[in-house]
Amino acid sequence: MIWKIKATDPPKPRKSYAVRIAWVLAGVMAVMSVAHLIRIDTLIPVVSQTLPTVAATWFVALIVTAEVFALPYLLRAKLSPLFRMISGSLVVFVPLVWTCFTIWALGDGRSTGQLTSYVSTSATWWLVLLNLTWLGVSYWILWLFNYDESFAQLRRLVAARKEKQK
């Protein structure tokens, strides 16, 4: 059986200002992902101060990939329902991982590498608070963009395909 992937329009946002907030959040994610990609050679050693080298390499690869793939949801691109769900979940995954990593590194006095080697971001309670704020805004964006509608849209598509098979 062949499943065709069909891009659909994103659900209508709950509030009109949601798009502007998402553009700011997308700008933060884009700047971070570009900075990480440009200086990935210095990011891995910075992260490996807290994590083992192999784990640091995987961590950096995972977080940079997540930052890049979170952007389509924030920019309200026309996506397949499954990719919209994945991209939306990455919008929350990125700040959650950075928050957990900052808490893990708390008290070491070393840089977390959130802004690569451009700015030394020591693991402090202020950075934890900033990451928690970023996480809260990310959850708020999911609510404003009707993220739960993506699940309903995917269920409708799967049900329609099952009905078509019969």
Tens digit of each residue's pLDDT (9 = 90 or more) over 140-160: 999 999 998 888 877 887 788
| Percentage with pLDDT > 90 across the chain | 58
For the chain, where are the alpha helices, taking DSSP H only? Answer: 18-38, 40-47, 53-74, 81-105, 125-144, 147-165
Structure tokens at 162: 């099952």
pLDDT, residue 13, reads: 92
Across 5-11, average pLDDT: 85
Q: Three-state SS for 117?
A: coil
| pLDDT, tens only, 92-129 | 999 999 999 999 988 877 888 888 777 778 888 999 99
Q: Report the C-alpha gap between 73 and 88 in whole angstroms.
A: 6
Q: Report the C-alpha gap between 138 and 59 in whole angstroms.
A: 20
